[in-house]
């Protein structure tokens, strides 16, 4: 019989960081899941009950095929280690499709996993400390944290420990196992980099009179109806982070809508009773929480906070950090357009630590193969002083703590396996949810469209043009906003429309959404057939190039147009529509049938969806 064999000689770098992984997953939950699947298959567990259980554990049903699941692996704070990446790589090869997918909420998803194999994936995840528990369902979803937290030049302090402590405190916590609906936290590093206005709880760190604290925004969120979060109070000290969070969750749990699936997120509660009323109730609730919170509870949370801070400090050898700043690499070299310079200009960012840099891995709509994940893991061990990476809401990875002289080496390694694409902080890095590739709710193939746009932009060297820095394109396959189209410079969400006698995949285009503390929601412009989206985007770029004044960037110009302060030919959205209308005209079906089909599909378009599982 074969023994299980382990040859160190064949895997030299493995298992070195295994023990430093934070422990989120529990091996016993895997077995428990396997047993539930058996009971369900033997009809001893009804479908609804099983579904709720499955979602609570992070496995979604796949598009129109109940045999398969999508497993959403939580990455708390977006923080991920090399051994975790390697495990995800091997799990994706064994049980999924050989690639993994970074989501806009910093999760990593494995698609098309046979339901009966889900427990095996859980088992593997727990081995490296990961879990998908409460990644779906009516619970606290993955706690997000800015990928720059800890390295952002504008941050007052690193919020990673706070994000991790909140994640740890609420994971498996009885007070949030059955909320009216899902609940999302987002921690920022500064006023610019977070997605704080579109979360149930968004937190921007700040220091007042020497005391650490936050500006907390409540009741934001994207969806069929989206809202921007409200500022709770000017300053919430760090010491009240836990009580404010508990109070919010308790209030929502008590008052949130449990009847109407379409209106049960906290943002609807806030909008229905009015912000002032909600704020008043919340502040009262917090007093109650603070009066009744037990010392052990408080100490537990403080302990989580301390240990996450320590873990962060340990990861980086502080003494090497303050070594004399190396000369800046040639950021903005301008003249040269070598692949390396293109990458350097748009993917490498200076950290607040002198002489250290962070580098983006630009993925296509968040997809990465098992082999790429393995190379990425090697790169982290070799080039990142913290030996970790962060997932980003733009569906990319960020490798941090790289010394200047290592940048060419890491670039060579990454580009050797197709991970060296430029354009991360420009419009090139297009976001696309999974769309019809796996989601029950999707109407269009937003995922493929995002990849098509990115390839087109790279082909046209759009990344080398400074005008497109900070602009974004984000695409969702339905109005539910997983692609976060409402906070994009140019956003799109999928739908279906009748043209003549045929159904056509179309996108509603939005302008001038933005993230950060002053984030705004985009405004709908017009509807564009799927196969005309690229033409429309190219036309917008052409008009912008003609109309822009004084070096304004694309996002600045689009914002101006969206508020009616454009100039010359394009003053407002109406002018824009007029110019774009001829572009979206479709040729007759008989002469150009491909315009009536969606990307990735050679059959006629039908808008097919099934019940969503976002709400358990």
Partner 1 sequence: MCSLSKPLRQKIDRTKTINKPAKKPSLPPLNNICDIDTLRTLIKKNKVRIVDVRKKEDYLKGHIKTAVSLPLAELLANDDPESIIAILNKLGISENIPVVIYDDTFGALASRVAWSFKFVGHENVALLEVTYDTWRKLGLEIERKSNKYPKTSHPLKVDYSIFADAEYIEKAQNDKNKIIIDSRERLNFLTEHIPNSKNIPYTMLRSENSILRSPLELKRFIENRGIDSNNEIITYCGSVGTLSGLTFFALKTAGLSNVKLYPKSFKEWKSLGKPKTEFKDATYWDLSAE
Minimum gap (Å) between residue 311 Cβ and partner 1: 27
- Footprint (CB under 8 A) of partner 1, residues 260-289: none
Question: Considering only residues 132, 159, 406, 437, which one is a binding residue for partner 1 as defined by CB under 8 A?
Answer: 437
**Nearest CA to 163 among 78, 232, 57, 231?**
78
Minimum gap (Å) between residue 409 Cβ and partner 1: 23
Nearer to partner 1, 202 or 364 (CB): 364
Among left, alpha and beta (phi > 0; psi -120 to 50; other), residue 512 is left
d(C-alpha 163, C-alpha 157), whole Å:
13
- Footprint (CB under 8 A) of partner 1, residues 308-367: 363-364, 367
Collapsed DSSP state (helix, strand, coil) of residue 16:
coil
DSSP 347-386: HEEE-SSTTEEEEEE--BTTEEEHHHHHHHHHHHHHH-TT
Minimum gap (Å) between residue 595 Cβ and partner 1: 17
Asked whether position 476 contacts partner 1 by CB under 8 A, the answer is no
d(C-alpha 390, C-alpha 520), whole Å:
25
Give the interface segment with partner 1, choosing from 31-39, 48-56, 238-246, 273-281 (CB under 8 A): 31-39
> Could you tell me where the DSSP H helices lie in 178-262?
241-255
Rg (CA), the chain: 24
Nearer to partner 1, 565 or 604 (CB): 604
Asked whether position 563 contacts partner 1 by CB under 8 A, the answer is no
Give the interface segment with partner 1, choosing from 117-125, 145-153, 314-322, 506-514 (CB under 8 A): 117-125
Minimum gap (Å) between residue 601 Cβ and partner 1: 6
Asked whether position 577 contacts partner 1 by CB under 8 A, the answer is no
Nearer to partner 1, 112 or 235 (CB): 112
Asked whether position 94 contacts partner 1 by CB under 8 A, the answer is yes
Asked whether position 43 contacts partner 1 by CB under 8 A, the answer is no
Question: Considering only residues 69, 119, 131, 406, which one is a binding residue for partner 1 as defined by CB under 8 A?
Answer: 119
Q: What is the 3-state secondary structure (H, E, C) of 398-440?
A: EEEEEEHHHHHHHHHHHHCCCCCCCCCCECCCCEECCHHHCCC
Asked whether position 45 contacts partner 1 by CB under 8 A, the answer is no
Label the pairing between strands 59-62 and 65-73.
Answer: antiparallel
Question: Considering only residues 41, 44, 545, 577, which one is a binding residue for partner 1 as defined by CB under 8 A?
Answer: 41
- Footprint (CB under 8 A) of partner 1, residues 581-600: 598-600
Asked whether position 50 contacts partner 1 by CB under 8 A, the answer is no
Asked whether position 565 contacts partner 1 by CB under 8 A, the answer is no
Q: Are 72 and 38 in contact (CB under 8 A)?
A: no
d(C-alpha 72, C-alpha 139), whole Å:
14
Nearer to partner 1, 63 or 388 (CB): 63
Question: Considering only residues 39, 64, 328, 563, which one is a binding residue for partner 1 as defined by CB under 8 A?
Answer: 64
Sign of the torsion formed by the C-alpha atoms of 142, 145, 146 and 150: negative
Question: Considering only residues 34, 231, 404, 469, which one is a binding residue for partner 1 as defined by CB under 8 A?
Answer: 34
Give the interface segment with partner 1, choosing from 8-16, 248-256, 333-341, 345-353 (CB under 8 A): 8-16
Q: Which whole-number Å values give the CA distances from 424 to 106, 345, 433, 461, 473, in the listed order? A: 16, 10, 17, 13, 12
d(C-alpha 71, C-alpha 529), whole Å:
31
Asked whether position 112 contacts partner 1 by CB under 8 A, the answer is yes
Asked whether position 5 contacts partner 1 by CB under 8 A, the answer is yes
Question: Considering only residues 83, 96, 245, 530, which one is a binding residue for partner 1 as defined by CB under 8 A?
Answer: 96
CB atoms within 10 A of CB 161: 24
- Paired tokens of 244: 């404010």
Nearer to partner 1, 6 or 574 (CB): 6
H/E element, 236:
strand 236-237
Asked whether position 552 contacts partner 1 by CB under 8 A, the answer is no
H/E element, 471:
none
Give the interface segment with partner 1, choosing from 107-115, 173-181, 407-415, 579-587 (CB under 8 A): 107-115
DSSP 71-125: EEE--GGGEE-HHHHHHHHHHHHHHSSSEEEE-TTS-EEEEEEEGGGHHHHHHHH
- Footprint (CB under 8 A) of partner 1, residues 360-379: 363-364, 367-369, 372
Nearer to partner 1, 221 or 364 (CB): 364
d(C-alpha 283, C-alpha 601), whole Å:
52
Q: Are 162 and 483 in contact (CB under 8 A)?
A: no
CB atoms within 10 A of CB 244: 24
Nearer to partner 1, 64 or 287 (CB): 64
Give the interface segment with partner 1, choosing from 155-163, 194-202, 317-325, 431-439 (CB under 8 A): 431-439
- Paired tokens of 29: 């939950």
Question: Considering only residues 23, 27, 28, 38, which one is a binding residue for partner 1 as defined by CB under 8 A?
Answer: 38
Give the interface segment with partner 1, choosing from 10-18, 138-146, 305-313, 485-493 (CB under 8 A): 10-18
- Paired tokens of 498: 């009748």
Q: Are 383 and 375 in contact (CB under 8 A)?
A: no
Minimum gap (Å) between residue 460 Cβ and partner 1: 22
Binding site for partner 1 (CB under 8 A): 1-12, 34, 37-38, 41, 62-65, 90, 93-99, 101, 111-112, 114, 116-117, 119-120, 363-364, 367-369, 372, 434-438, 445, 447-448, 451, 598-601, 603, 608
């Amino acid at each position: 019989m074969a023994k299980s064999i382990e040859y160190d000689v064949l895997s030299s770098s493995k298992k070195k960081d295994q023990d430093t992984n934070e422990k989120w997953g529990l091996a016993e939950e895997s077995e428990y899941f396997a047993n539930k699947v058996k009971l369900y298959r033997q009809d001893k567990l009804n479908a609804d009950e099983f579904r709720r259980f499955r979602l609570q554990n992070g496995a979604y049903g796949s598009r129109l095929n109940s045999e398969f699941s999508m497993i959403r692996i939580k990455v708390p704070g977006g923080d991920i280690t090399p051994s975790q990446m390697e495990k995800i790589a091997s799990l994706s090869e064994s049980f999924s499709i050989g690639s993994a997918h970074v989501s806009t909420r910093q999760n990593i998803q494995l698609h098309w996993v046979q339901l009966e194999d889900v427990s095996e994936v859980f088992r593997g995840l727990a081995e490296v400390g990961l879990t998908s528990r409460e990644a779906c369902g009516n619970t606290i979803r993955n706690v997000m944290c800015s990928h720059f937290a800890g390295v952002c030049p504008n941050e007052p302090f690193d919020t990673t420990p706070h994000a991790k402590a909140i994640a740890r405190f609420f994971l498996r916590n009885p007070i949030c196992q059955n909320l009216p609906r899902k609940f999302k936290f987002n921690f920022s590093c500064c006023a610019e980099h977070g997605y704080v206005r579109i979360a149930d709880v968004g937190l921007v760190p700040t220091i007042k009179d020497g005391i650490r604290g936050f500006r907390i925004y409540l009741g934001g969120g994207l969806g069929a109806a989206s809202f921007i979060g409200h500022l709770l109070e000017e300053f919430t000290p760090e010491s009240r982070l836990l009580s404010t969070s508990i109070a919010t969750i308790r209030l929502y749990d008590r008052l949130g809508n449990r009847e109407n699936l379409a209106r049960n997120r906290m943002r609807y509660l806030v909008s229905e009773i009015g912000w002032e009323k909600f704020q008043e109730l919340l502040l009262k609730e917090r007093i109650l929480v603070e009066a009744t919170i037990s010392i052990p509870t408080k100490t537990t949370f403080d302990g989580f906070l301390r240990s996450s801070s320590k873990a962060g400090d340990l990861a980086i050898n502080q003494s090497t950090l303050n070594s004399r700043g190396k000369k800046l690499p040639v950021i903005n070299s301008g003249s040269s357009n070598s692949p390396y310079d293109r990458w350097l200009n748009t993917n490498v960012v200076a950290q607040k630590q002198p002489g250290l840099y962070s580098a983006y891995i630009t993925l296509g709509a968040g997809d990465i193969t098992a082999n790429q994940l393995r190379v990425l893991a090697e790169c982290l061990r070799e080039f990142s002083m913290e030996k970790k990476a962060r997932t980003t809401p733009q569906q990319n990875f960020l490798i941090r703590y790289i010394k200047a002289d290592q940048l060419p080496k890491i670039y060579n390694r990454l580009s050797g396996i197709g991970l060296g694409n430029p354009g991360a902080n420009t419009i090139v890095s297009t976001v696309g949810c999974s769309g019809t590739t796996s989601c029950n709710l999707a109407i269009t193939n937003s995922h493929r469209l995002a990849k098509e746009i990115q390839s087109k932009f790279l082909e046209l060297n759009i990344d080398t043009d400074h005008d497109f820095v900070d602009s974004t394109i984000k695409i969702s396959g339905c109005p539910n906003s997983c692609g976060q189209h409402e906070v994009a410079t140019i956003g799109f969400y999928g739908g279906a429309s009748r043209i003549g006698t045929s159904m056509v995949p179309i996108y509603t285009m939005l302008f001038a959404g933005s993230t950060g503390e002053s984030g705004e929601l985009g405004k709908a412009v017009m509807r564009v057939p799927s196969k005309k989206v690229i033409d429309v985007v190219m036309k917008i770029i052409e008009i912008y190039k003609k109309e822009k004044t004084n070096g304004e960037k694309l996002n600045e110009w689009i914002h101006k147009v969206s508020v009616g302060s454009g100039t010359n030919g394009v003053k407002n959205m109406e002018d824009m529509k007029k110019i774009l209308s001829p572009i979206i005209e479709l040729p007759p079906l008989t002469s150009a049938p491909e315009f009536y089909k969606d990307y990735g599909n050679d059959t006629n378009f039908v808008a097919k969806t099934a019940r969503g599982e976002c709400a358990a």
